[in-house]
A and B are shown apart, each in its own frame.
Chain A
Amino acid sequence: MMSHIIIMATGALAAAVCALLGCFLILRRMAMIGDAISHSVLPGIVIAFLLSGSRDSLLMMFGASVIGLLTVFFIQMFRQGGVQSDASIGVVFTSLFAVGVILVSLYTRRIDLDLDCVLYGEIAYVPFQTIDLFGFGVPKATFGLALTFLVCAVVVGLFYKQFKICSFDPALAAALGIPAAFFHYLLMGLVSLATVSSFESVGAILVVGMLVVPAAAAYLLVESLAKMIGLAMLLGVLSSVFGYGLAYVLDASIAGSMIAVSGIFFLAALMFSPAHGVLLRKRRLQRPAEG
């Protein structure tokens, strides 16, 4: 029973961190950059792993954050060199991800990271790897995620106004003297951090689902940023709880099920959202014709 709760809590934390940052990614039209970062942190994780020889999270987080920022930097560099932005995203993240996959395959006997774990995480094993904290055995991944959540929440909370203005009106932000480039990289750094700490539990490709899907559902439902963040986090947490149940019933990948459930939430929002839902909009369009 305890392990069920731990797995659900870990998933919920990952979902909450990702949803919080995903809202800003969506508003700044950078969802695919989130995708790129979530893929390209892989070589950072593997290299940190090979260097340190352990799954010590701190070094991994550092390595992956560096690679995450490098990804953003490269994308920016090629874009300024005249490559179209989505093509430059595509080139950079596929290359880095390929390096990561090859490193994993090369050293697959020496390290206990395998391709399955890279893709869809091993959240089911989270309860078994604990660290000692004030005499309690706390699962490592859960602890790391809690820490990341705290960091992200504090940073976003402190600079909420700046992030908000940068997302909605970059020109105004520049006019007000807000260092937009700094906040851009700060956000990207946070996304890398969130990706790395969710990586072990949900895997590279599904992190992007956590980043995008709950935030997009919330985007359809509410009009204010604060509400959107709250709702996205709530939906993320609900998806991970129900997703775990679904995975238990189906005997399938937990992370995949979490994404599938969040997809159901998104579809519901798409259909029934009061302002942007497909069904209600249809009715609104018909009403003038009736009158």
Chain B
Amino acid sequence: MFQWLEVFRDPNTQWILAACSLLGLSSGVLGSFAYLRKQSLMGDALAHAALPGVCIAFMLTGVKSILYFLIGAGIAGVIATFGIGYLTRNTRIKQDTALGLVLSLFFGIGIVLLTRIQHSGSGNQSGLDKFLFGQAASLVRSDVAVMITMSAFLLAVCFMLFKEFKLISFDPGFARGIGYPVALLEQLLMFLLVVAVVVGIQAVGVVLMAALLITPAVSARYWTDRLGVMAVLSGIFGAFSGAAGTLLSTAANHLPTGPLCVLAATFLFIVSVLAGPKRGMLAKARLRMAARRELGKKQSVPAAEGGGA
């Protein structure tokens, strides 16, 4: 019964757990900016786009090092961002099509490279396909160190530039007016998204990494109207999802981590949809009932008076 608690004793698992929680925390915080800037699906596109970068980094270096992957995926992500921006601004193609286009093209090329690596039969390529859905148990100490450092970096940047990011999320025109380098900040936010995606690849996988950027933020939005509270809540939701996914995946040996993290996040989302204080379904239903009762009272009073007269 308590067998699964044993996983807490293993120091390696503790580190992995810490890394995944921190990953969830930082992507949750970042995701709340992406959500307010209506760029939730950008994370999806960037996550898929990271795959060819990772594959090329592996083909060039021949080692599975998260640092090289970070560089490869970072470059691919930046190219994807520019591609999407270029198509949306300079052609008649709309943003959703540009997203789908870049996402599927990069992913298609990534799959070609991945299968090519697999068929080439070079040593130590096994485990590369774990990047698709993530396998937290396969993380080694150095990966964990990189993950923790990068997540802490993301959090630190978000904390320091909170005011700036807040302003470009709500009113970029005003931000430009008072002299903020809006374009630079937007690019920075995009770059941070790329970093978050890359950090999450080994733990959560490219296919579902987007969910860690989207779902906690949407859930947090149900509870509050303040960005600060929302970012913190979204971070907590993300950390919970990361931790829960990792634990479940470690306890049930074969399951990939990514989908489990996503399901944990979805669980929180459903709770938020139902129980959110003002926007939640229950609150809305209660409000509707109260209004109906109020209305009923108002209608019944004159009727009673009329009957009396």
- Chain A residues within 8 Å of B, Cβ to Cβ: 26, 29-32, 34-35, 78, 81-84, 86-91, 94-95, 97-99, 101-102, 105-106, 108, 115-116, 119-120, 205-206, 208-209, 211-213, 216, 219-220, 247, 250-253, 255-260, 263, 266, 270, 276, 278
Contact = CB atoms under 8 A, between A and B. Distances in A.
B94 to A, nearest CB: 5
B29 interface: no
Interface stretch (B68-76, B177-185, B207-215): B207-215
A116 to B, nearest CB: 8
A34 B263 contact: no
A91 B263 contact: no
A268 to B, nearest CB: 13
| Most chain B CB within a 10 A radius of its CB, from A102, A108, A263 | A102
Name the prevailing secondary structure of the A interface residues.
Answer: helix
B104 A259 contact: yes
Name the prevailing secondary structure of the B interface residues.
Answer: helix
Interface stretch (B58-66, B95-103, B189-197): B95-103
Contacts, number: 192
Given A31-B99, A84-B35, A220-B93, A256 B112 contact: yes
Interface in B212-262: 214-215, 217-218, 221, 254-256, 258-260, 262
B84 interface: no
A32 to B, nearest CB: 5
Interface of B: 35, 38-41, 43-44, 48, 87, 90-94, 96-97, 99-101, 103-105, 107-116, 119, 129, 132-133, 207-208, 210-211, 214-215, 217-218, 221, 254-256, 258-260, 262-263, 266, 269, 273, 279, 281
| Most chain B CB within a 10 A radius of its CB, from A34, A108, A213, A258 | A213
| Most chain A CB within a 10 A radius of its CB, from B104, B115, B217, B263 | B104
Given A29-B96, A115-B133, A255 B108 contact: yes
B92 A219 contact: yes
A67 to B, nearest CB: 15
B115 A87 contact: no
B40 A29 contact: no
Contacts of A270: 87, 91
B97 A212 contact: yes
Given A205-B107, A216-B101, 8 more contacts: A29-B94, A32-B96, A81-B273, A94-B211, A98-B259, A209-B105, A212-B101, A219-B97
A224 to B, nearest CB: 14
A97 B132 CA distance: 13
A156 B94 CA distance: 23
A208 B103 contact: yes
Contact of B108 (A34, A260, A276): A260
Contacts of B94: 26, 29, 31
Given A91-B214, A94-B211, A101-B256, A120 B111 contact: yes
A120 B129 CA distance: 12
12 contacts: A31-B101, A83-B218, A86-B40, A90-B43, A90-B44, A90-B211, A91-B269, A94-B208, A95-B211, A205-B207, A257-B108, A276-B91
A210 to B, nearest CB: 8
A205 B48 contact: yes
A87 B40 contact: yes
Contacts of A115: 132-133, 256
A200 to B, nearest CB: 16
A118 to B, nearest CB: 10
A86 B97 contact: no
B27 to A, nearest CB: 13
Contacts of B211: 90-91, 94-95, 98
A98 B263 contact: yes
B262 to A, nearest CB: 4
A206 B92 contact: no
A106 B208 CA distance: 18
Contacts of A250: 112, 116
Contacts of A87: 35, 40-41, 214, 217-218
Top 5 nearest A-B pairs (CB, nearest first) are A259-B108, A209-B104, A256-B111, A94-B211, A98-B259
